Amino acid sequence: MQQQIDENQHKPSVRIALAGNTKCGKTTLLGVLTKGMCDDGKGSLRDIMVNYAHEIKKGGQTESIVFELIGFDKDGKQILSNEQPTNKSQYQSQVFQQSNSYLYLIDLCGDNKYFKHSISAINKCLFNLIIIVIAVDEGITRITVECLLICQLYKIPFIIVLTKCDLLKNKEDKDKIIFKIHNQVSNNFLYRKLVIAKDPKECANLMNQRLKKYENQKGLICPLFEVNNINREGIDSLLQFLFHFKNQDHLYQEIKSPDQPFQMDVFYTCNVKNIGEIPFGLIKSGTVKLDQIVSVGLDENKQIQCAKVISIQNVRTSLTQARSGEIVCLILQPMIQQQIIDFAKIKIIADPKINIPYVKSFWANISILPGPTTVTIGFKPILELSNITQQVNLQEIIGDTQFLKSGDCALIKLQFLDDAYQPVYENQQFILRSSHSIAYGQVVNVSQQDLINDEQ
């Protein structure tokens, strides 16, 4: 039976991702952190954390994003459920209901083939912190470097967690790994100060104070934790840091006050028997309440469609309202009887008063990331912008050159393929990718002749 949370009760939350190379122990670490258990050294915890049975057989290669929860009481003691860990929904629901504050933990894919899902999740979730997981037996990899690069581009604070420390034979081997990590995070691009996290509370407070005062994260400390998933050595220290680390939504222009008009970006929709498609996503602005009327996108005639909110769910728990910064599911009902709304295609749910700029092209400043790729007119990469993952066509490049290579910057025009209309706002950040990240950019303005509101 689902419990309903009082509408006046707001639980502080932090959105955290675990990122790193494949088989570095991210999913196992997630299980150790969230379930209060130890791994057997052969991936026993990983087997109950992954979403699909075939991922178990791949032995460390996670193909899909794993969502989990850590709850704390007011004193920082972790809340654990008496449900079986294999019963994910009931386990998470019980933790959420009994907690005073909680963490959303999302395990990102590390394999080259599936890393595109990780880039997409970083764009959608606007993480407050990313845990870069590095296994001592493999050290820093290309995926590790790309994770660090994305953290810096999006100004996301990060920490380092060393896993598989039981494999270290001597102190010299550990010192070599830490020295390489220090060189990587203290370079001229990242410019972080690596700190061995002996006092996790102090580390968290130092990061909180710096992030509160300065938007520029250069000079920010990067705590390093050493953990052993077999005997849980170092886990309590990491949990203590996570409890004291504060939500950093003020770093994001997209996250607005709960008093502003409501807007929610949809990550995806899940099909529930006897209910249908349920949108799941992050509330970026305002507060949503039961029976509220919201806009859900455009119909075939490019007219705004509206629906009523008949249920709000956060971690299998019914709410009477939810506010900006929370990740929730909304069950919606069309306003007009017999009206058919394709909820699976919803990108944004919002207050009908908000004028959402649906466009088929826009102008942006981009910087080409280090790599062998040359970009020119007609190039068709994948755009990762907020909750949009779509192929685009590079239509124009402003300037003397029509070829962009590593390190180049330019003002360009991008158009969605098939003239599809998507919600795009000025100043939004994005990544262009193919097999890897190619360019980082920011929307300058939408193309006025392609703005759907003007056409109407």
Confidence (pLDDT) at 2? 47
Residues 349, 276: Cα–Cα separation, whole Å:
17
The mean per-residue pLDDT over the stretch 284-306 comes to: 89
| Cα–Cα–Cα angle for 345, 423, 328, rounded to 5 degrees | 60
Within 10 Å of residue 213's Cβ, how many Cβ atoms?
Answer: 8
CATH superfamily, domain at 358-455: Translation factors (2.40.30.10)
Q: Which of 209, 202, 327, 244 is nearest to 76 (CA)?
A: 244
Kindly list the domain boundaries of the chain, sorted by start residue: 4-251, 263-350, 358-455
- Tens-place pLDDT, residues 95-135: 999 999 999 999 888 877 878 888 888 988 999 999 999 99
Q: Which of 451, 418, 437, 263 is nearest to 366 (CA)?
A: 437
Which residue type, as a one-letter code, is found at position 290? L
Of 233 and 59, more confident? 233
Q: List the single range of 44-53, 323-332, 425-434 with lowest mean pLDDT.
A: 44-53
451 has which bridge partners?
A: none
The mean per-residue pLDDT over the stretch 272-293 comes to: 91
The mean per-residue pLDDT over the stretch 446-454 comes to: 58
The yes-or-no verdict on residue 57 having pLDDT over 70 is no
Confidence (pLDDT) at 45? 76
The yes-or-no verdict on residue 62 having pLDDT over 70 is no
CATH superfamily, domain at 263-350: Translation factors (2.40.30.10)
Confidence (pLDDT) at 65? 74
Determine phi and psi for 408, rounding to 5 degrees.
-75, 150
Q: List the single range of 62-66, 170-174, 317-321 with lowest mean pLDDT.
A: 62-66
Please determine whether the domains at 4-251 and 263-350 fall in the same fold group of CATH.
Answer: no
Of the chain, the percentage scoring pLDDT greater than 90 comes to 52
- Tens-place pLDDT, residues 160-195: 999 988 887 788 888 899 999 999 999 878 889 999
Helix H or strand E segment including 177: helix 171-185
Q: Which of 364, 439, 434 is nearest to 395 (CA)?
A: 364
CATH superfamily, domain at 4-251: P-loop containing nucleotide triphosphate hydrolases (3.40.50.300)
